[in-house]
């Protein structure tokens, strides 16, 4: 039996069958504990008597008692904040893992445009870094500080990063999240003809008839851009070809 106790002695978890829970090492145990202690794995320290803090890669046995210590985020310096931004921008997952282990808050930036590490990872299509940041508590709703005030999902749509869109959706992001211009990621992908992103958003139940700027829909934006395949995809998903005309009769169809 593996027991995990808080410093106070309160039980956090009691596990009799590690294999059934998919637990093999300290890292997988920390992931199991996340919803039970309300802290990401990066803020957890598991301590074994007479051994000390266990490394994430250490294998576990069923007969073990561990103490769980939750540590706060460090007060990151400007240089440390920049290091995480650089790792996110360049896709350095190993460096991102090390920085998040400090543990460092992924929702702090020194970027003049207000881009958080998750914005940069989404923009660059760096899936593993994006996954680490989300695991570390990166917020999906934060908007950049410069027009058009995008969230990570909007930047992923703009750059045709379907794999990032899928990851964000799997982490509970809202498919119809609005940017500062009141556009959704589907508006952006339709405007630019980014089919992989649009397919992903449609599977995630994005609203294909969402109105932007009083009359524009994903279909009308695809039509303006002469994106024929996008128009067909949207119609197949239930888009109203004439909704933008109803809202703006002066628009020449």
Q: Where are the domains of the chain?
A: 2-70, 73-139, 166-253
Q: Per-residue pLDDT tens, the chain, 253 aa: give them.
A: 899 999 999 999 999 999 999 999 999 999 999 999 999 999 999 999 878 999 999 999 878 999 999 999 999 999 999 999 999 999 999 999 999 999 999 999 988 899 999 999 999 999 999 999 999 999 999 999 988 999 999 999 999 999 999 999 999 999 999 999 999 999 999 999 999 999 999 999 999 999 988 889 999 999 999 999 999 999 999 999 988 766 665 555 4
Class of domain 2-70: alpha beta
What's the rounded Cα separation, in Å, for the pair 94 and 92? 6
pLDDT value, residue 91:
98
Could you count the other beta carbons within 10 Å of the beta carbon of residue 180? 15
Instruction: List Cβ neighbours of 226 (8 Å cut-off, separation of 6 or more).
Output: none
- CATH H superfamily, domain 73-139: Ankyrin repeat-containing domain (1.25.40.20)
Tens digits of residue pLDDT in 15-28: 999 999 999 999 99
The answer to whether domain 2-70 and domain 166-253 are alike in fold is: no
C-alpha 87: how far from chain center: 16
Identify whether 148 is preceded by a cis peptide bond (ω within 30 of 0).
yes
Q: How far apart are CA 72 and CA 57, in angstroms?
A: 22
Confidence at residue 252, expressed as pLDDT on a 0 to 100 scale: 54
Name, in order, each residue with C-beta under 8 angstroms of 169's C-beta and a sequence gap of 6 or more. 175, 200, 204
Helix then strand then coil, in percent of the chain rounded to 5, is 45, 10, 45
pLDDT value of residue 245: 67
d(CA 118, CA 140): 8
Phi and psi at residue 68, to the nearest 5°: -100, 125
- C-beta separation of 126 from 95 below 8 A: no
Q: Which residues are CB-neighbours of 10 under 8 A, at least 6 positions away?
A: none
Record the pTM.
Answer: 0.92
166-253: what fold? 1.25.40
């Amino acid at each position: 039996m593996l027991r995990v106790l808080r410093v106070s002695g309160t039980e956090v978890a009691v596990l009799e069958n590690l294999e059934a829970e998919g637990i093999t090492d300290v890292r997988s145990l920390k992931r199991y504990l996340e919803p039970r202690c309300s802290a990401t794995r990066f803020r957890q320290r598991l301590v074994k008597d007479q051994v000390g803090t266990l490394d994430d890669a250490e294998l576990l046995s069923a007969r073990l008692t561990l103490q769980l210590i939750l540590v706060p985020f460090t007060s990151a310096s400007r240089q440390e904040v920049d290091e995480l931004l650089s790792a996110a921008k360049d896709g350095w997952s190993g460096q991102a893992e090390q920085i998040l282990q400090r543990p460092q808050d992924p929702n702090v930036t020194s970027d003049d445009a207000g881009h958080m590490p998750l914005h940069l990872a989404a923009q660059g299509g760096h899936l593993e870094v994006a996954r680490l940041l989300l695991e570390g508590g990166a917020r999906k709703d934060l908007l950049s500080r410069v027009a058009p005030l995008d969230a990570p999902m909007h930047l992923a749509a703009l750059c045709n990063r379907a794999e990032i869109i899928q990851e964000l959706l799997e982490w509970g992001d809202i498919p119809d999240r609005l940017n500062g211009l009141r556009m959704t990621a589907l508006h952006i992908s339709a405007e630019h003809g980014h089919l992989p992103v649009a397919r992903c958003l449609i599977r995630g139940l994005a609203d294909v008839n969402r109105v932007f700027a009083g009359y524009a829909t994903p279909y009308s934006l695809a039509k303006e851009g002469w994106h024929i395949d996008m128009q067909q995809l949207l119609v197949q998903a239930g888009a109203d070809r004439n909704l933008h005309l109803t809202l703006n009769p002066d628009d020449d169809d």
